[in-house]
Amino acid sequence: MKKMKAIVKENEGKGAQLKEVAIPTPKEDEALIKVLYSAVCGTDHHIYLWNQWARENVKLPQIMGHEFVGEVVEVGKNVSRIKVGDIVSAETHIFCGRCKQCLTGNHGICRFMTLFGIHTPGSFAEYTVAPEKILWQNPKVIPLKYCAVQEPLGVALEGVLAEDVSGKTVLITGCGPIGLFSIAVAKASGASKIFAADIKEYRLSLAKRVGADEVINSKETDLVKTILDYTNGDGVDILIECSGSGKALRQGLE
């Protein structure tokens, strides 16, 4: 049995282990992928810390990681779209394809959804397996390290493009990775003015670099008053909440 190195969450409590485990064998509808880059998500941090969310959602042992890029080295007999040699990334949602949500095109809210890297072995390993239906082929012109964060970029695309932002004012609260991607997507989609709010100056500096027109430290400034001042009392057309903070959501709606 061939072995590989993987980061495994084995025990309850803080921490994870670097271990040798068996290289997985792809099922009929799966591909075996040699992982080239894997990014760290906040979800991985939750699992590492073993907080309440992790305790309620993750069964041990678990190979962590779900943001990655890799090269397909083997495919199951029912795989047709993905080929050996393809450079792929994966979306996290493993959908059933049969429930009402899936049949109406809403795979992201599949009734029976499982999550790659949370309910299945993930990408903090030399090799991983994933169903063909969640794999996306990357154009060769995109640098590999950028391909590794296609999954969080997809989250931002889904959120920002839920409405037409072209020519509209946008407030993005929370300038972590998803918020920063959202700023870039809103900018590329033609938003007329982008406001970004966070409580950390470093994140606000990144927000400015990726396209925010105005940045606001909501810990030091009254966010609602500042936005109303910037917009002559009109407020913004669109709010994109990326912090997970109830306070930020309430402020944004105001």
3-state SS class at 75: strand
- The reply to whether 133 and 159 lie within a common domain is no
* CA distances from residue 159 to 28, 147, 181, 238 in whole angstroms, order as listed: 33, 19, 10, 11
Q: Among residues 43, 92, 120, 169, which one is catalytic?
A: 43
- The reply to whether 123 and 175 lie within a common domain is no
Domain that holds residue 183: 155-253
Which domain-ending residue is among 148, 180, 208? 148
Q: Among residues 46, 119, 226, 231, which one is catalytic?
A: 46
- The reply to whether 25 and 76 lie within a common domain is yes
- The reply to whether 135 and 209 lie within a common domain is no
Residue range 148-163: average pLDDT? 94
Task: Give the pLDDT band (50/70/90) at residue 250.
Answer: confident
pLDDT at 13: 95
Structurally, the chain folds into a number of domains equal to 2
pLDDT at 23: 98
Residue range 186-191: average pLDDT? 97
Q: How many residues does the chain have?
A: 254
Query: What whole-number distance in Å separates Cα of residue 191 and Cα of residue 188?
Result: 8
Task: Give the pLDDT band (50/70/90) at residue 178.
Answer: very high
Tell me how far the alpha carbon of residue 166 is from its chain's centroid: 24
- The reply to whether 187 and 208 lie within a common domain is yes
Residue range 17-37: average pLDDT? 98
Active-site residue 43, yes or no? yes
